Amino acid sequence: MAADTGAERGLSDTLQLADWRRRIADLYTEVRVLSATDVESALELWRTTRERLFREHPQSPVPVDKRSGFWARHYPADPSLRFEVAVAADETPPEPAARGLGALGGGLGIAMDLPVSAGGTMSFSRIGHVEVPLATGARRLGVYWMAGYAGGIFLPFRDATSGSETYAAGRYLLDSAKSADLGGDPERGTLVLDFNFAFQPSCAFDPKWACPLAPPENRLDIPIRAGERLA
């Protein structure tokens, strides 16, 4: 048998990464369809499939030596934390040199860089914002479009659980460049935001991953006890 080479390992890793992304995309496709009639079952599917992939898949963000004993932790489901919200354009017009995409694909966004866990920044455009009608009062979150990959809507947040019960740098609601997309209506300019599907970025499991972080405007002053947790 021929000895394994670095090139062969690199090719295998690349194909496994493609498979990981394919499986995540398939999962969110199922979640969007199922949640139209049964959000509870969609959430259970999302939880169990992600846990299995994190434990078994070669491209899991969990370090290899911790995978076999990995189990995901979640807050109890809270149906009141699921919303369909309109993406609104920002009141301040974009600067002439701004680049990017407008809310759900039209107009110009405001070019900006978000900090990355491993240091440095990553380029995004701020395409608008949403007003989330939480029980304690509406909170505004910025919505971004990722400049890299093929682009994609990105909505990170931090809250009062960050650093104690959840990852200190925040969690993600949407990351459509990685297929984490709960749907919406482009004709009405809406997105589905469900905090029960909030997830930890890869860097929460292993610092070798570089993850864009929630900016100050997306730091909520209240605890959001829904979705994935660490403690």
DSSP string for residues in 191-216: EEEEGGG-B--GGGT-TTS--B---G
Average pLDDT over residues 219-231: 96
With a cut of 50, say whether residue 127 has pLDDT above it. yes
Q: Does 52 or 7 have the greater pLDDT score?
A: 52
Specify the pLDDT at position 30: 98
Percent of the chain with pLDDT over 90: 73
> Helix H segments across the chain?
6-35, 39-56, 64-67
Q: d(Cα 201, Cα 135) in Å, to the nearest integer?
A: 26
Q: Does 54 or 110 have the greater pLDDT score?
A: 54
Residue 132 confidence class, pLDDT cut points 50, 70, 90: very high
Average pLDDT over residues 142-160: 90
Q: d(Cα 56, Cα 196) in Å, to the nearest integer?
A: 23
Place of tokens 């009639």: 37
Domain ranges across the chain: 1-71, 78-231
Q: Does the pTM exceed 0.75?
A: yes
With a cut of 90, say whether residue 113 has pLDDT above it. no
With a cut of 70, say whether residue 174 has pLDDT above it. yes
Q: What angle do CA 177, 181, 187 make, to 5 degrees?
A: 105
Q: d(Cα 102, Cα 226) in Å, to the nearest integer?
A: 29
Specify the pLDDT at position 7: 73
CB burial of residue 226 (10 Å; 0-12, 13-18, 19+) = buried
DSSP state letter for 147: S
Q: d(Cα 215, Cα 75) in Å, to the nearest integer?
A: 24
Q: d(Cα 54, Cα 65) in Å, to the nearest integer?
A: 12
With a cut of 60, say whether residue 229 has pLDDT above it. yes
